[in-house]
Amino acid sequence: MQKRIRKKKRKNFIIPLVVYPFDIMVSIGESDDEFIKSCTKILAKEHVGELKEDEVVCRMSQTQQGRTIMLSGNQTIIRLKSKPQSAREYGFMAHEVFHAVTFIMDRVGMKLKLMTSDEAYAYLVGYVTEEVYKRI
């Protein structure tokens, strides 16, 4: 009988935005300590220091389902407490994706305005959401 080998699920990955000079790091199901360790491998030391200095940014409370932050060096990070399983949890994910998109669009100077920039926001929300789904 062959032993089934379970592939370790990726808990931390990068989504390149391609058309914008930014990437989004996504952390799913990592403890606070695992999250910091992942950031240490990916981010410059000064940005890891920025994370460690700010408890609100670095640590998620028991009641939080997710958190999205943009660091001073334009690094955007989406954290989800766990892999979405229910419609409500996918709603939390969509909420965090929207935050990431608004941070990025603000950095490139595009404010959300109906009939002028909303389509650009919608395309980026769709792209980021699709990329997260592909990896989970």
- Domain residues of the chain, as ranges? 12-135
Asked if the model's pLDDT at residue 5 lies above 60, the reply is: no
Neighbours of 109 (CB within 10 A): 6
Neighbours of 71 (CB within 10 A): 20
Residues constituting the chain: 136
If you average pLDDT over residues 75-83, what whole number do you get?
90
Query: What pLDDT is stored for residue 9 in this prediction?
Result: 59
- Which pTM value belongs to this model? 0.83
Neighbours of 51 (CB within 10 A): 20
Residue 60 has pLDDT above 80, yes or no: no
CA distance 108 to 21: 9
